[in-house]
Each structure stands twice: as C-alpha cells, then as structure tokens.
Structure 1
C-alpha cells in the first residue's frame, strides 16, 4: 500500500500530523479545481473543518459528496481519486486506523458514510 499512500501520491494535499502504532492523523487541504491521484485510505474517521463538494472516483464509478464543516464521520477503507468540484477550499482531518481495525479497501465503499 505504500505506493498508494496519499501522503506519497499527493504530497501537495496530504500531510501527516501524528502517528503511532494505533492511528495516523492526516491533514488534507485543497482548492477548487484541485484533483488527487488514486490512493488508499484504511478505515478512518474524517473531521471536516470547511464545507466542501467533491467528486470521488474509483474504477467502478463515481460519487459526488457535499459535506458541511464541523462534522465527524466514518470513512470505510477505500481506494479512490478525488476532485474539488466546489467553490471553496477543502480542509479535513483523517484519523486512520491501523492493524486489524484498518480494514480492506475492497471497492464496495466510496466516500464517507453520511
């Protein structure tokens, strides 16, 4: 998975804020029109700091999401690419789980559970 780690594949948008043997905390920031290349997230909790609109893509299809600021939501393990399709910057925090809790990106889920 290292080759699909978002910090490696999209370093202009993702940065590691904290990491230990149980979790990794990532910050994500982008601007309208920005895109990401395909990457993998384990099971995570996403905390939204801004309102945003994104288009998430996998080999199986795409999904548009419109999420308000100040939300905490579950994001099941997944592989996707994204695009900021809104008029505002995206700013989120991901708390990625490790070990058995990380789950498997099997293509069944796309985006957060809203």
Structure 2
C-alpha cells in the first residue's frame, strides 16, 4: 500500500506545524476547485479557520460537508479524497492523535462527526 499520509500525498495543501509522541498538528489550505489524493486521517480534532464547502469521497460513497469558521469538530479515523466545491478557500487545523488513540480507519466513516 502506498503511503497515504496527507503531508506526502498533498504537500501543497497539508503541512506539519507541530509534532510530538502524542499528537501531530497539520495546517490545511486549498482554493475552490482543488482536490486531494486518497489519504488517511487518524482520529483528529478539526478546527475550521475559514468556512468551507467540500465533497468527500471513498469507494464510491460521496458526502458534502459545509462548516462555518471557528468550529471544532471530531474527525473519526478515515480514508478519503476531498474537493473544494465552494467559492472560498479552505483553511483548517487538524490535531491528529497518535498511538492507540489514533484509531483505525473504518468503512463508512466519511467526514467530520457533526449533525
């Protein structure tokens, strides 16, 4: 299996801003129309610094997600691709958990855990 770390698959969008033995913090930026390659996220806290509208996809399952700025939402461990389908850039921070707390990506999990 290829390396599906988002910093490797999409370095133009993801960058590591902090890392220790417990967490890794990623900053994510994109522009309208940008799309990511397949990548994996462990259990993470996502903090939205801008509002955004995205389409996430895995194995033919598609979900649209729209969040406003200044939200903190749980992102369960998952594998997906994403595309900015909005009219504004996306800017988020992801606090990824490590070790047993990282979880294992499961089928059916797609996007943040929000109502």
Normalised by the size of structure 2, how large is the TM-score? 0.96
Residue aligning to 2:111: 111
Normalised by the size of structure 1, how large is the TM-score? 0.97
Once the two structures are TM-superposed, the CA of residue 107 in structure 1 deviates from its matched residue by 1.5
How well do the aligned residues superpose, as a CA RMSD in angstroms? 1.1
Residue aligning to 1:35: 35
Residue aligning to 2:89: 89
Question: In the comparison of the two structures, how many residue pairs are matched?
Answer: 114
Residue aligning to 1:79: 79
- What 5-or-longer segments of structure 1 have no aligned partner? none
- What 5-or-longer segments of structure 2 have no aligned partner? none
Residue aligning to 1:62: 62
Runs of 4+ in 1 over 6 A off after TM superposition: none
Residue aligning to 2:98: 98
Q: Secondary structure at the match of 2:37?
A: coil
For residues 38-82 of structure 1, what are the alpha-carbon distances to aligned partners after superposition, in whole Å with 9 as ceiling and x for unaligned?
000000000000010000000040100010000000000000000
